């Protein structure tokens, strides 16, 4: 699902319009959270330390809220109509709480890739999305023939999570997700976002 750049979305701190065409990075990571939430404050602190690393990987992080609030952060967007948030069918179906949504910028539009629901405020998700951005560029599996969160699925088939035995059917060019059973791929999972855990069977 794609969305063109004509969105009625603004930067919360200064009310300037947000335009996808002004984004030079390839990957956009969006945290849906209120300005005063624990998730927003914890991840903004991590983001301050890793912005340059994300930039080097052609990735950018935004925080998006549907509610007007106070912030001095240049990374907070106001999306009152849910134009960005609803690009994730997972979030659109459920009520938008706190989520991490991943997009690719293609031809001046946002293309939906992945959703992680309810990311824990206590974890460093900025480091995880940095790993995702690195993994996204790598086609080959690791030395154990396993794939990581954020890599693109090379072929249709069934993939086994080597950490818990869960089997998932994926199609070519899907994104390898966080394992929904054992949470491998999460910062505190059996395997982190820097490690492989999906194996073709």
| Per-residue pLDDT tens listing for the chain (201 residues) | 444 445 689 998 888 999 999 999 999 999 999 999 999 999 999 999 999 999 999 999 999 998 877 777 889 999 988 899 889 988 876 666 899 999 999 999 999 999 999 999 999 999 999 999 999 999 999 999 999 999 999 999 999 999 999 999 999 999 999 999 999 999 999 999 999 999 999
- Angle at which helices 125-136 and 38-56 pack, to 10 degrees? 30
Which residue is it, tokens 């999306």? 79
Question: Given 3-state DSSP classes, what are the helix, strand and coil percentages for the chain, each rounded to the nearest 5?
Answer: 20, 25, 50
Kindly state the helix (H) or strand (E) to which residue 122 belongs, with its residue range. none
Which tokens go with 186? 């999460």
Tell me phi and psi for residue 132, to 5 degrees. Answer: -55, -50
Q: With 0.75 as the threshold, say if the pTM is over it.
A: yes
Helix locations, 57-196, DSSP H: 89-93, 125-136
- Enumerate the domain spans of the chain: 1-137, 138-201
* Chain centre to alpha carbon of residue 170: 19
What number does CATH give the domain 1-137? 3.40.30.10
């Amino acid at each position: 699902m794609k969305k063109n750049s004509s969105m009625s979305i603004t930067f919360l701190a200064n009310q300037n319009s947000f335009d996808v065409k002004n984004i030079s990075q390839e990957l956009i990571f969006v945290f849906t959270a209120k300005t005063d939430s624990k998730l927003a404050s914890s991840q903004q602190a991590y983001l301050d330390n890793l912005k340059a690393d994300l930039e080097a990987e052609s990735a950018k992080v935004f925080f998006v809220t549907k509610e007007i609030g106070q912030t001095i952060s240049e990374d907070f967007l106001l999306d009152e109509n849910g134009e960005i948030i609803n690009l994730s069918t997972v979030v659109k179906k459920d009520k938008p709480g706190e989520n991490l949504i991943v997009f690719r910028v293609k031809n001046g539009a946002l293309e939906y890739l992945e959703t992680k629901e309810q990311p824990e405020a206590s974890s460093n998700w900025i480091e995880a999305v940095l790993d995702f951005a690195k993994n996204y560029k790598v086609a080959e599996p690791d030395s154990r023939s396993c794939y990581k969160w954020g890599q693109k699925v090379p072929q249709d088939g069934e993939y086994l999570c080597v950490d818990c035995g869960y089997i998932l059917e994926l199609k070519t060019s899907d994104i390898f997700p966080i394992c929904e059973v054992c949470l491998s791929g999460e910062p505190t999972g059996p395997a982190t976002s820097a490690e492989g855990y999906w194996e073709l069977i």
